[in-house]
Structure 1
């Protein structure tokens, strides 16, 4: 994959589509089934405690949740890595960010004691947890078995 395009998996048929970055805002469609690819986020989506159940637990598929805080240096250093993962796994992994300072209920529910913490869900079930600033290779090694 070149840096001027991203691959988005269609949520309707599973076909992987290469989309030039300069065309992403032009409402791309799947090359096979013609379903819209415009509603598939290729960047991490910020949510709140109130949105967690709908955005994560009700989602059919894989979700990576980044539990972070704005004052956290390691959290900031992971930002570009998570942006890249969101782009590279668009349509296959939903990337979520939740600020622990503003959303303590989620941190309490999942026993978040250190940030950054990444929570990996599949079909609404917590499957894995990564604590600390981990390299992209480690994140991918945890994601790939869930993707299948």
Structure 2
């Protein structure tokens, strides 16, 4: 526990997906993974497969915004740079992640992804908001911030 404010945040490593406890007051100080030594926040979306998705969404304390996309989708490719820019602006308060629906079809089906790109905001393992269609970076940041409070 952090002695200053009494709280820690469980953050999953974007590289090895290991859970790390980080004092809340130190999230913006460039924490690194205790297992692999990689930065916990790289300012870019984390690519998730089905197993990593379950760990990040279900075990981490940060809200997670998942972009469900596919490589053949034109609007998805157009939105990718904006999503990356939004990740740089929203970290360390929010984790942005991407799930390729072609590679994780069962995961996409379980979350009833009917059109792409679809962004879904998860908090404590539960879906709290979703939106479909390509957006610019400012719109993504605004949409996320309006839903996380």
TM-score scaled by length of structure 1: 0.73
Corresponding residue for 1:12? 23
Q: CA deviation at 1:105?
A: 1.2
Q: CA deviation at 1:13?
A: 3.1
Secondary structure of residue in 1 paired with 2:87: helix
Q: CA deviation at 1:55?
A: 1.6
Corresponding residue for 2:41? 40
Q: CA deviation at 1:16?
A: 7.5
Aligned residues: 122
TM-score scaled by length of structure 2: 0.73
CA contact (8 A) 2:69 2:76 kept: yes
Which stretches in structure 2 are left out of the alignment for 5+ residues? 1-21, 33-38
- Distance change >3 Å, CA 73–CA 112, structure 1 → 2: same
Corresponding residue for 1:62? 63
Q: 2: distance between equivalents of 1:115 and 1:52?
A: 18
1:78 aligns with 2:79: yes
Moved more, 38-47 or 114-123: 38-47
Secondary structure of residue in 2 paired with 1:66: strand
Which stretches in structure 1 are left out of the alignment for 5+ residues? 1-10, 18-29
Secondary structure of residue in 2 paired with 1:61: coil
